[in-house]
Structure 1
């Protein structure tokens, strides 16, 4: 699809505006922030590991002040091509960071400039090459608001990863051969890997599944969809959930060597100094390749105040889950006493955990084992957490003009994952027109959960298994097995926007399509 005039103008506006400024005004613009894709060395339980990263001016990642533009010069200091996606942000499509859609990857030593107005909240950035993301080419992107500055609270970021000493190619080979060791959340050993897993999202062999062409490949007007296919699917959901009760989910398809919180394990966790009786805004980002986590704040009272960067009606609790690509903002009120408060991330369906420790000066800190006494449960299989979330500022009311059923499928053997029965390269775009109110119904017919991420848009969850809701605004929604989640959005810039599962092995084997918006 060629770039539209609208997309071209959006991409060039900042550069043209700068060029027309008088010299004295141009000199007053702040210098772009320098960001580098590079290698770094971590100490993982006493063993050195070379991984990728995104180095900002002072640390991994970026923190922007209220009103600050995203003016960044990205340089590729890696020995291979790469490109970075600004997850959850809405830049002009040409700056979105998907290889060859529309711009090529950065060659080693090459730089590229970015300039757009960012959304405030908790976001992150990562390579859009799955094998590079498995190698930890990701970092936080925090955009502070005026309210954040005015609030009397400390800000802490918790950035989560899963980690393997083996190369991503070896990890993928083991998963594809069924030796990942993580099916149903059980432990296992890692066999010797086979060779041949590639770097790119190349088309894979299409699996033999149900023919869903009538459900999602075409365009349906909303009345036909609501009265026909969507109504039928909603009526089927209770029966499907009942059938699933006797089946076993595939929770984890790989046993990683370590689970990292801010690049560290519980053998040597980060200790964050806090004040007695202080308030903390904890920004949690799940940057893992293939691990869903529960966040457990223990004895620290917590309120969930935002998801995916967007405010929700506060929800009290001390355990909340998040899938890959999702973010949670928690507000913690600490006791007015000396002490330490572990904030743990529990791997779903397993005993492994990681985390950080909030501690007052001089507090005694007890060592926390990396294995819990019992397995954490599966995350949100009935979407009970998602049902509790309500946007503080939802989409404005208007009629739906276009609806799509988006079928999520795949199998563990062969290890291939699909959208509407097809892998990337054999896909048919999900289409819309700029300005339309669009509904996407994600229907998962597989036995693994899928965190579905849409580029260039913010959507609102409006229906969960046939139950209407005024749900959270998000960019990544988790769809558990045999479930259906419907989201609403207003189609934005006319361009090709990626729509994919944020489970990296699923994405690597083809679980991506495009949301194609025309003028």
Structure 2
């Protein structure tokens, strides 16, 4: 292996990478709102220029707020297309949630809109709520720091993950709809021999393509082969190198902003503790490999050894060999080049819900009787490429009804052969059931439901309004996999 280029260090001040080092935080005393611009930018993807979109704050991509600071933002659309931004995992007033026409229209080119609400602390993100726009990387970190973050002696690092194509999102969707977006073995159900559940644990390594469930049915993974996989806008051929201290503690905030890729986060020789998911604390869980689906976030605490060195933090594409990541390195340490392809394929993510089973909320919902239940059926197929909730696509959907302040349980039952990360707007929910077994699981806003599985979540219905509920796999969303959680007064 050769020592990699240090262009990453030289360019660390560039706006496009500012999210890695956390932009200068906004003071609670600042009266003026922050400016956030939906704009275009150019990335260097393995030596090739790529025109993408982004969300530029005062100090680069994304926003970071200090404890007690209101989310006071003026959003301006500098693109040549109408768009709108959603504050993923936050609970603003419904009119500020950022879903087109629910109830506010999209922003026209040159138009601005003001936002003002009290944000939840933790690791969040913001993205266009137009699937094809998110596929153009119109997204960025949104970090709301807590008092503990301020007082703790630790370095904060953000790893923002994307999948990327040099083709337009419209071309990508045309290939997917035509069944031409995959490698020979990907997702077709004809790639790998069906495997039993015994082969589907976290340690099982599989070839690219289909896995099997307990009935020998083919499980579909990775329905599109992207040109690159990015961590903080860079590939592993020239990753970001973050300078760290010997023996220091790191709070690594990992955000999966990919359109259609599940990742495993592997810390290698730097043992980690998972301390939060989707912005909410969990009972610490030790390990060096944790997975997250699209829309989800992980907070990892890493204690570095007292001696100097370099520690790659890798994001492994589910069911495949591609990988991306960044490198933590002490001053003067030798940083070696890493191949963008691993020697073996990573396993499928959480097909047995083993990771979710081990997560316990640090501050669970209070116990109270359940007043309403909904079974939410997730369905669809690769050909024709159509994905549904309760048998219907958006526009033909039947809203899920609730009354404000009711305790509601949603039971996501996935009857398809792809996993679905299900995201509910305007609410925090707790995972309370996994394949029929009661758990006191994590608080989340996005839960992954594997094929032929059922996940129950409990929540207290919030503001009386129409709140979107959808799969966070962008091609699934683009083809209609969304409904609404309709809360009445």
**Paired position in structure 2 for 1:154:** 155
Following the alignment from structure 1 to structure 2, what is the Cα–Cα distance between the partners of residues 118 and 178? 41
Following the alignment from structure 2 to structure 1, what is the Cα–Cα distance between the partners of residues 252 and 486? 35
Q: TM-score, normalised by structure 1?
A: 0.83
Following the alignment from structure 1 to structure 2, what is the Cα–Cα distance between the partners of residues 61 and 518? 34
Which of residues 356, 370, 382 in structure 2 aligns to 1:400? 370
**Paired position in structure 1 for 2:33:** 32
Following the alignment from structure 1 to structure 2, what is the Cα–Cα distance between the partners of residues 40 and 336? 39
Q: CA deviation at 1:110?
A: 0.3
Q: Does 1:46 align with 2:16?
A: no
Q: Are the aligned partners of 2:264 and 2:289 in contact in 1 as well (CA < 8 Å)?
A: yes
Q: Does 1:310 align with 2:313?
A: no
Q: CA deviation at 1:244?
A: 3.6
The alignment's C-alpha RMSD in Å is 1.3
Number of residue pairs matched?
439
Q: Are the aligned partners of 1:183 and 1:250 in contact in 2 as well (CA < 8 Å)?
A: no
Q: Does 1:518 align with 2:488?
A: yes
Q: CA deviation at 1:245?
A: 4.2
**Paired position in structure 2 for 1:342:** 312
Q: Which runs of 4+ in 1 moved over 2 A?
A: 182-187, 241-245
Following the alignment from structure 2 to structure 1, what is the Cα–Cα distance between the partners of residues 114 and 126? 15
Q: TM-score, normalised by structure 2?
A: 0.89
**Paired position in structure 2 for 1:103:** 104
Helix, strand or coil: the match of 1:175? helix
Following the alignment from structure 1 to structure 2, what is the Cα–Cα distance between the partners of residues 387 and 182? 32
More helix by percentage: 1
Alignment of 1:59-208 (within 5 A): 59-182=60-183, 185=186
1:87 to 1:335, Cα distance in 2 relative to 1, 3 A: same
State which structure, 1 or 2, has the greater radius of gyration over its C-alpha atoms: 1
Q: Does 1:294 align with 2:264?
A: yes
Following the alignment from structure 2 to structure 1, what is the Cα–Cα distance between the partners of residues 478 and 63? 27
Following the alignment from structure 1 to structure 2, what is the Cα–Cα distance between the partners of residues 350 and 245? 23
Q: Are the aligned partners of 2:212 and 2:219 in contact in 1 as well (CA < 8 Å)?
A: no
**Paired position in structure 2 for 1:435:** 405
Following the alignment from structure 1 to structure 2, what is the Cα–Cα distance between the partners of residues 482 and 469? 19
Structure 1 regions of 5+ residues with no counterpart?
A: 1-27, 188-240
Q: Are the aligned partners of 1:185 and 1:348 in contact in 2 as well (CA < 8 Å)?
A: no
Following the alignment from structure 2 to structure 1, what is the Cα–Cα distance between the partners of residues 30 and 304? 41
Helix, strand or coil: the match of 2:110? coil
Q: Are the aligned partners of 2:187 and 2:223 in contact in 1 as well (CA < 8 Å)?
A: no
1:157-202: CA deviation from partner (whole Å, max 9, x where unpaired):
0000000000000000000010011576479xxxxxxxxxxxxxxx
Following the alignment from structure 1 to structure 2, what is the Cα–Cα distance between the partners of residues 122 and 44? 26
**Paired position in structure 2 for 1:276:** 246
Following the alignment from structure 1 to structure 2, what is the Cα–Cα distance between the partners of residues 302 and 141? 23
Following the alignment from structure 2 to structure 1, what is the Cα–Cα distance between the partners of residues 173 and 100? 21
Following the alignment from structure 2 to structure 1, what is the Cα–Cα distance between the partners of residues 45 and 353? 34
Higher relative contact order (CA 8 A, sep 6+): 1
Q: Which moved more, 1:178-187 or 1:481-490?
A: 178-187
